[in-house]
A and B are shown apart, each in its own frame.
Chain A
């Protein structure tokens, strides 16, 4: 009996080791680069091209949101070489000291990136991150169903449109709407301002058809609702499906977000990581990714290579006047107020029933 156990166990171990070897052994001549990116956030051809051109193998994994990524990266169990956090997460990771200062001399293509994406608030001295994709948040509305001009968040509080408004089921995005409508900063820590925003959202709750995630897109295209708070990337998809829809960035300002590329301190293939970042900053590659993802690229030369209807579209590429306005803000690291946000959001959602 003992013999049998031994045999089976050793067979199992040998099997596992073979697999492990198969997993680690890489045939690429120039080693590998370990990339951790958002799901569906690259043109699958790009990784293949990178390997063909440089001989560096791309080990690629994906995550669904910043917090999940942070949970995997922060303990340092797995060493990634390139990660793609959003703006506020970059700030948080810098504060935690887990990001490597980039050596920009190894990323010559960095100069392709438009000047307006330099020295953004999450990385004020431009030391740790490279912009990868960006976008804004605004209102998608159906112009057949609205008679008046839409240019302000106020319209989401108009009782005429009861049960025709869709809000994002996300505490930060919804609070942003309320704070912006009140004329405050969306990063405020002032309890009185947050309280006002909360009351505003509770006041709005009866008018809201539902707090949606992804399914909101279908509802708008099917004309089940008139307004929806939406990211520009999603808006592009909706607008292409239903020509009656329109996207506007309200005059009170809104959220302006950037997804970036960074390198953690425990990266093991630093030179390959630089090569990979440099590759993604090449205009033709950035254009391929922008086409595939539907978000906006921070590289003008790449934008030029997109289809006319996209590159001149004010939804995807609002003018600099719009994005540089003082009331366009980026989220900052919320670690200190996350509890307050959750409690506000719970109260708002509870008031709806």
Chain B
């Protein structure tokens, strides 16, 4: 009996989580502009194949996500190690500065970056988007690596140096493998955050560079049409 309840509970949770996805899947084949079943069709998939602007925004989204998450991970890893080595008030100060972008709402980050780029006369476009994505995802990388560094026994690194390794060699062979799970986790978090972001991107994008969230939002005026469903389907 208990077993049944357990299974039922798990099934229910899975159902609730995946029902929207299933609905999307079914309706992406729907032969109607509204979410009312009219018949089976592939035409929305054909439309998607012909719609350059969605494909283009997809490419931009991926470029931005890959570049910004890689750079954020590199910066974040180095910053985490630096912070780990610090002592006393310096360390607290740095940690708290790291928390600020984490805790402030997207809109604050978005608008302040926009004002910064404006003051510096940096033209809006792909570079500003990538810089702003790096800005908000770096703290997440730092925070996912810090615990790994804490767990690590730093004497191993010093032992490697004693045995003649250069610091760079010791870093690659000793530290990096130890903190790798944290680095990978940070990379993925940064990647997901970047793909997901609307607000910061909205304020810092330039002409012609629409990311997917911006594109989808712009489509909302005429209703989130069928056009998008096959796309979301393919993303899954």
Contacts and interface: CB of A to CB of B under 8 A. Distances in A.
Given A59-B208, A61-B208, A20 B219 contact: no
A36 B207 contact: yes
Contact of B127 (A5, A19, A38, A222): A19
Nearest to B207: A34
Given A19-B126, A62-B218, A63-B218, A12 B74 contact: yes
B207 A19 contact: no
A130 B135 CA distance: 41
Contacts of A61: 205, 207-210, 214
Contact of B168 (A4, A63, A80): A4
Interface in B178-227: 205-210, 214-215, 217-225, 227
A117 interface: no
A23 B126 contact: yes
B207 to A, nearest CB: 4
A241 B78 contact: no
A40 B228 CA distance: 11
A214 B220 contact: yes
Interface stretch (B9-17, B48-56, B87-95, B147-155): B48-56
B167 to A, nearest CB: 6
B173 interface: no
Contact of A77 (B114, B130, B218): B114
B125 interface: yes
Contacts of A62: 53, 210, 214-215, 218-219
B221 A218 contact: no
Contact of B51 (A44, A233, A238): A44
B62 interface: no
A19 B63 contact: yes
Contacts of A40: 218-219, 221-222, 225, 227
Contacts of B206: 78
Contacts of B124: 77-78
Interface residues of A, number: 45
B78 A20 contact: no
Interface in B35-84: 35-36, 38, 50-53, 63, 67, 70-71, 74-75, 78
B32 interface: yes
B74 A241 contact: no
Interface string A114-125: 000000000000
B125 A20 contact: yes
Contacts of B86: none
Q: Which of A3, A12, A24, A39 has the most CB of B within 10 A?
A: A39
Interface string A212-244: 001001100110000000000110011001000
B50 A39 contact: no
B34 interface: yes
Given A237-B33, A241-B34, A39 B125 contact: no
B208 A39 contact: no
Interface string A46-76: 0110000000000111111100000000010
A278 interface: no
A24 B125 contact: yes
A8 interface: yes
B233 interface: no
Given A59-B208, A61-B209, A221-B36, A16 B219 contact: no
Contacts of B205: 61
Interface string A278-305: 0000000000000001000000000000
Interface string A1-16: 1011100100010011
B118 interface: yes
A15 to B, nearest CB: 6
A16 B52 contact: no
Contacts of B225: 40
A77 B118 contact: yes
Contacts of A293: 222
A39 B207 contact: no
Nearest to A75: B118
A94 B29 CA distance: 45
Interface in A106-165: none
Contacts of B126: 19-20, 23
Interface string B123-145: 01111001100000000000000
Contacts of A4: 78, 168, 171
B166 to A, nearest CB: 11
B52 A80 contact: no
A79 interface: yes
Interface of B: 32-36, 38, 50-53, 63, 67, 70-71, 74-75, 78, 114, 117-118, 124-127, 130-131, 167-168, 171, 205-210, 214-215, 217-225, 227
Given A8-B78, A237-B33, 6 more contacts: A16-B130, A19-B130, A39-B222, A78-B206, A214-B223, A241-B32
